[in-house]
């Protein structure tokens, strides 16, 4: 989460990106909240700069996209989405994809099934976010399957729909979890910053937005970022076990002028990088701490290219 200085305008590639929100107008939760004023400013900027707004499901065939696009996603179905966020999105006539975890429906500060049904009639696309909102990286195969099947059954029972997209709670998962998710859904989304790419179909990035990271610069950077071609970070498993201080980023076309910002719960991590043809060897100056380890790799070349990845360290 940081701002990029633009050196050139985008001419070569069309940006198609996802933004992720949670709460609206709930100032006591700044890490997941977006103020009404921020949301209005975000949507005003995007509409004034001629972005098309589409559902997340419509990004799955990027070859059909001919204009720069934004897909708005909202996680968890907090009541503030229904009472505060939704009227603002409707004011701007913007489609929204809502990722729903079913255990909390009707609970304190969460939407009810009746309110969720109302959002369907108002054009909201509801997709799956598990039942209990547990980190899939900590669950067994059987537990992951139960999370998916129970939530799918409840959504169908109460809303009459069967979601085909999935969002990982906290953005946390593993290659094992991705394999199970792929048996039920057409694509799955994380919570790590990065330009949209279909290359990793079951770990697609979304730009998180909140009070602290919700400036106009942040929106501009996120909306206009471009994907690297066939980028891959190794180790590939988002559940980093064993823990490593050595990573390799490969990019089709080479890694010249690629810079990576790396952080964990203790803050930014120093690094040493060595490039060889299309690969960048990244060696961290210290062992990352328990929790989430984030990579944000960028390059300015006729636009800003942004590759993001999130690991979980147990």
Q: pLDDT value at position 66?
A: 80
- pTM of the predicted structure, to 2 decimals: 0.93
Name the burial class of residue 160, with classes exposed (0-12), middle (13-18) and buried (19+) by CB atoms within 10 angstroms of its CB: exposed
Q: In three state form, how does the secondary structure of 198-237 look?
A: CCCCCCECCEECCCCCCCHHHHHHHHHCECCCCCEEECCC
* Ranges assigned E (strand) in the chain: 16-21, 23-24, 33-34, 52-53, 69-75, 96-100, 125-128, 165-167, 187-189, 207-208, 232-234, 246-250, 259-264, 267-268, 271-276, 279-284, 291-300, 304-313
- Angstrom distance (rounded) from CA 141 to CA 195: 30
pLDDT tens string for the chain (314 positions)? 333 333 333 334 789 999 999 999 999 999 999 999 999 999 999 999 999 999 999 999 877 788 999 999 999 999 999 999 999 999 999 999 999 999 999 999 999 999 999 999 999 999 999 999 999 998 999 999 999 999 999 999 999 999 999 999 999 999 999 999 999 999 999 999 999 999 999 999 999 999 999 999 999 999 999 999 999 999 999 999 999 999 999 999 999 999 999 999 999 999 999 998 899 999 999 999 999 999 999 999 989 999 999 999 98
């Amino acid at each position: 989460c940081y701002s990029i200085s633009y050196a050139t305008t985008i001419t070569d590639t069309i940006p198609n990106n996802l933004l992720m929100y949670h709460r609206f107008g709930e100032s006591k939760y700044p890490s997941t909240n977006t103020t009404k004023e921020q949301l209005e400013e975000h949507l005003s900027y995007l509409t004034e700069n001629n972005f098309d707004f589409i559902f997340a499901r419509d990004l799955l065939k990027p070859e059909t996209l001919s204009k720069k696009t934004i897909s708005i996603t909202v996680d968890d179905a907090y009541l503030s989405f229904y009472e505060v966020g939704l009227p603002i999105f409707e004011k701007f006539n913007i489609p929204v994809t809502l990722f729903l975890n079913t255990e909390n429906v009707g609970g304190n500060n969460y939407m009810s099934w009746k309110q969720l049904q109302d959002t369907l009639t108002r054009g909201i696309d509801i997709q799956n976010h598990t039942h209990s909102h547990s980190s899939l990286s900590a669950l067994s195969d059987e537990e992951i399957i139960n999370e998916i099947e129970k939530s799918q059954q409840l959504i169908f029972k109460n809303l009459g729909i069967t979601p085909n997209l999935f969002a990982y709670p906290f953005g946390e998962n593993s290659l094992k979890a991705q394999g199970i998710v792929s048996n039920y859904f057409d694509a799955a989304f994380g919570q790590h910053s990065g330009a949209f790419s279909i290359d990793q179909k079951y770990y697609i990035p979304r730009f998180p937005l909140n009070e602290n990271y919700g400036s106009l610069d942040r929106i501009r950077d996120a909306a206009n970022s471009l994907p690297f071609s066939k980028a891959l970070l190794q180790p590939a498993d988002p559940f980093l076990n064993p823990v490593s201080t050595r990573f390799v980023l490969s990019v089709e076309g080479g890694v010249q002028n690629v810079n990576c910002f790396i952080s964990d719960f203790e803050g930014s991590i120093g690094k040493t990088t060595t490039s060889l043809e299309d690969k960048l060897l990244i060696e961290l100056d210290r062992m990352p701490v328990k929790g989430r380890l984030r990579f944000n790799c960028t390059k300015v070349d006729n636009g800003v290219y942004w590759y993001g990845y999130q690991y979980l360290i147990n």
